[in-house]
């Protein structure tokens, strides 16, 4: 009887291990750590970035496409409509920026939770929670989570796509995984079609090599569904797909062999855009995590090879590499948000490596290793919060300057409906409630003759940096100094 009882206990234990073992989540209970990570991420965005942060330049372009409270800004060839549609449920009826920030923070937290759930059954819950926390704690993730920008959402789509791809490979009848794969690919292509291609190159190659037709079909359908609006717009407004790609390359400085690794390092100090990327490197402590990341990813790969689950780690590492390559070696400037998809995909193997370092050493070394990992993570978090604080402060000041300039323009009689031309016309025009225009450069959307015709019926102002040379049509306009700008206001209609 005792033997039978012992056998029954062993059978029940094996059943529990099969359901909640290291490779599988334990139902809703296993989701709790992932939900906790997502909840802390959401609260941290609202507390550290704050909903009162005004809209940035790129955000203005995306949001203005769907709001009825401001004229739409020029939408250049590289951009995609995904972000505009993402913010439409709020921006289409409310001009409130805090409301938009809260909406995006909640949505980004929910998206992170769903993306981590896509990896259930591939890594233990603790690894997914640590990986999600590592990605969520980066200053660039916290800063851009509540912003109307595409890169975070490409990262979420990448996590969902790669996780569902691996799950569908292990169980080909997993219909949910196939739908998740298609949805993740569509989300990436919806936000940035070219980034979606770079991320999914290893998945496409693997599906072709192994003749996984269902995986290949799900990927193709997802990419096509997300990219169709961009392709249609290419033929409707840019002279075709090839012309739009060429124009996008020109605006980005010409894609080709250009080493931007040093530019990315300079941007780690909290610079939203490093173009041109000059100046000194940030403090070595700010850059340290960037060099540790690939080392830990390599350790995660070694751990996976020893545990005979190599593909679960190798595939996300391959996708992270192809996602990062164009922004490290094919573009002449940098922005830290460009690498968010790579950071998200690296986070899972790195989380696996950190758990191995903290728990696997035996005997007296285990407390030492765990303490070192904890100390390193605490230092890393402190650095990220410090950089985030600086980035938020600088961006808050810049956006307040745009708002003050808009108020000064109103006092000069430049009130909606109106037109702003010249330096920083897009953000200042948005804050002033005016249309924005450019007669040259990447945002060219009008001509001098059209500007003069507009000045005959609406208030028009031309902006240059202090002491700058205005175009011929504005040289006789009365000039006013607002902060570091020379503002020339056309004579009244």
Cβ contact 137:175 at 8 Å: no
Residue 172: its pLDDT value, please? 53
Cβ contact 446:457 at 8 Å: no
Residue 14: its pLDDT value, please? 40
Residue 292: its pLDDT value, please? 95
Per-residue pLDDT tens over the stretch 392-403:
999 999 999 999
Cβ contact 117:17 at 8 Å: no
Residue 347: its pLDDT value, please? 97
Q: What is the pLDDT along the chain (493 residues), one digit of tens a residue?
A: 444 444 443 344 344 434 333 344 345 567 899 999 999 999 999 999 999 999 999 999 999 999 988 999 999 999 999 999 999 999 999 999 999 999 999 999 999 999 999 999 899 999 999 999 999 999 999 999 999 999 999 999 999 999 999 999 876 557 889 999 999 999 999 999 999 999 999 999 999 998 899 999 999 999 999 999 999 999 999 999 999 999 999 988 888 889 999 999 999 999 999 888 888 899 999 999 999 999 999 999 999 998 888 999 999 999 999 999 999 999 989 999 999 999 999 999 999 999 988 887 665 667 788 888 999 999 999 999 999 999 999 999 999 999 999 999 999 999 999 999 999 999 999 999 999 999 988 899 999 999 999 999 999 999 999 999 999 999 999 999 999 999 999 997 6
Per-residue pLDDT tens over the stretch 243-300:
999 999 998 888 888 999 999 999 999 999 988 888 889 999 999 999 999 999 999 9
Residue 276: its pLDDT value, please? 84
Residue 19: its pLDDT value, please? 37
CA distance 135 to 293: 11
Residue 20: its pLDDT value, please? 38
Query: Which residue(s) pair with 421 in the sheet?
Result: 437, 462
Residue 238: its pLDDT value, please? 92
Residue 363: its pLDDT value, please? 54
Nearest to 251 by CA among 443, 72, 447, 446: 443
Residue 11: its pLDDT value, please? 40
Write down the pTM of the prediction.
0.92
Q: Is 8 exposed, middle or buried (0-12, 13-18, 19+ CB in 10 A)?
A: exposed
Exposed e or buried b per residue across 250-273, where buried means at least 16 C-beta atoms within 10 angstroms of its C-beta: eebeebeeeebeebbbbbbbbbbe
Residue 28: its pLDDT value, please? 59
Nearest to 309 by CA among 411, 170, 146, 157: 170
Per-residue pLDDT tens over the stretch 421-478:
999 999 999 999 999 999 988 899 999 999 999 999 999 999 999 999 999 999 999 9
Which helix (DSSP H) or strand (DSSP E) does residue 415 occupy?
none
**In the chain, where the domains are located:** 30-394, 396-489
Beta strands in 177-237 (DSSP E): none
CA distance 286 to 296: 17
């Amino acid at each position: 009887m005792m033997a039978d009882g012992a056998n029954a206990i062993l059978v029940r234990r094996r059943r529990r291990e099969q359901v909640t073992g290291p490779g599988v989540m334990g139902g809703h209970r296993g989701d709790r750590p992932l939900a906790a990570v997502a909840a802390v991420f959401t609260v941290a965005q609202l507390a550290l970035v704050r909903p009162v942060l005004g809209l940035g330049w790129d955000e203005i372009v995306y949001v203005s496409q769907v709001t009825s409270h401001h004229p739409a800004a020029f939408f250049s060839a590289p951009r995609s409509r995904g972000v505009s549609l993402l913010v439409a449920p709020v921006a289409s009826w409310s001009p409130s920026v805090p409301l938009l920030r809260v909406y995006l923070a909640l949505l980004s937290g929910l998206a992170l939770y769903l993306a981590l759930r896509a990896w259930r059954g591939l890594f233990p819950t603790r690894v997914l929670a640590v990986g999600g926390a590592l990605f969520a704690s980066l200053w660039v993730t916290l800063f851009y989570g509540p912003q109307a920008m595409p890169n975070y959402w490409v990262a979420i789509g990448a996590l969902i796509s790669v996780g569902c791809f691996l799950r569908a490979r292990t169980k080909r009848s997993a219909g949910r995984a196939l739908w998740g794969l298609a949805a993740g690919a569509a989300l990436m292509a919806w936000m940035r079609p070219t980034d979606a291609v770079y991320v999914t190159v290893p998945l496409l190659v693997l599906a072709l090599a192994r003749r996984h037709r269902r995986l290949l079909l799900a990927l193709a359908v997802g990419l096509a569904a997300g990219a169709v609006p961009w392709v249609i717009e290419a033929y409707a407004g840019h002279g075709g797909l090839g012309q739009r790609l060429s124009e996008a390359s020109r605006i980005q400085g010409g894609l080709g062999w250009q080493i931007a690794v040093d530019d990315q390092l300079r941007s780690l100090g909290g610079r939203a855009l490093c173009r041109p990327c000059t100046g000194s490197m940030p403090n070595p402590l700010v850059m340290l995590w960037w060099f540790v990341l690939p080392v830990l990813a390599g350790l995660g790969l070694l751990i996976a090879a020893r545990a005979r689950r190599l593909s679960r780690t190798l595939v996300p590492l391959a996708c992270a590499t192809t996602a990062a390559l164009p922004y490290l070696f094919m573009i002449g400037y940098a922005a830290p948000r460009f690498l968010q998809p790579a950071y998200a995909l690296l986070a899972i193997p790195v989380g696996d490596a950190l758990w191995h370092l903290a728990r696997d050493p035996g005997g007296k070394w285990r407390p030492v290793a765990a303490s070192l990992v904890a100390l390193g993570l605490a230092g890393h978090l402190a650095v990220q919060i410090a950089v985030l604080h600086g980035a938020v402060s600088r961006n808050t000041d810049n956006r307040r300057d745009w708002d003050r300039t808009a108020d000064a323009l109103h006092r000069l009689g430049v009130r909606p409906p109106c037109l702003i031309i010249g330096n920083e016309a897009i953000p200042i025009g948005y804050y002033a409630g005016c249309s924005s225009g450019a007669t040259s450069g990447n945002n060219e959307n009008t001509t001098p003759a059209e500007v003069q015709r507009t000045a005959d019926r609406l208030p028009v102002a031309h902006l240059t940096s202090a002491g700058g040379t205005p175009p011929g049509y504005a040289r006789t306009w009365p000039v006013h100094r607002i902060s570091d700008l020379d503002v020339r206001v056309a004579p009244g209609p």
